[in-house]
Amino acid sequence: MLTSLQQEFSLAQALTTTGDPSDNIIDLGATGTVLNAPAPLVQDIGKGKPIPIYVKLDVDAGGTNPTIQVVVEVDTVEGFGSPTTLLSTEVIADGLAGDELYFEAYLPEGTNQRYLRLDYILTGTTPTYTVTAGITMARQTSVVPGA
């Protein structure tokens, strides 16, 4: 799978409480102003192709009846004071090390905020997850013969 550290949301991030945001956020950058224009350009990352996002469990899920749901959020400020939820995955129960959740995020048109992150919603009794997550070029599907 092709990944980049600049597009990683979580790198072996330990999750123990619901609403844990990803350790890293992606700054989509400020828009510029065209010469003699009255205002800066309006950014819209919702146009175009879907963004492939992966979440991989680095260790077995812990706790009693643990579940995880991944939420994609944006905000105008880096501190995510009032994030906007773009989409969320289905709720995934349990999970073993090496399990992957892969989804293509069709961000809605009109998504014009600067910062992007993941939020992890956990349920169960003392759930624990350790995840690595980020944006990828494509899902890795090749298999090593005999492995």
Domains and CATH numbers, the chain: 3-29+53-136 (2.60.120.1110)
pLDDT in tens, the chain (147 residues): 667 777 899 999 999 988 899 999 999 888 888 899 898 888 888 887 888 888 999 999 999 999 999 999 999 999 999 999 999 999 988 888 888 888 877 788 888 889 999 999 999 999 999 999 998 876 666 666 665
pLDDT of residue 140: 67
Q: Using CA atoms in the order 118, 103, 7, 84, what is the torsion angle rounded to 10 degrees?
A: -30
- The answer to whether 76 and 22 are in contact (CB under 8 A) is no
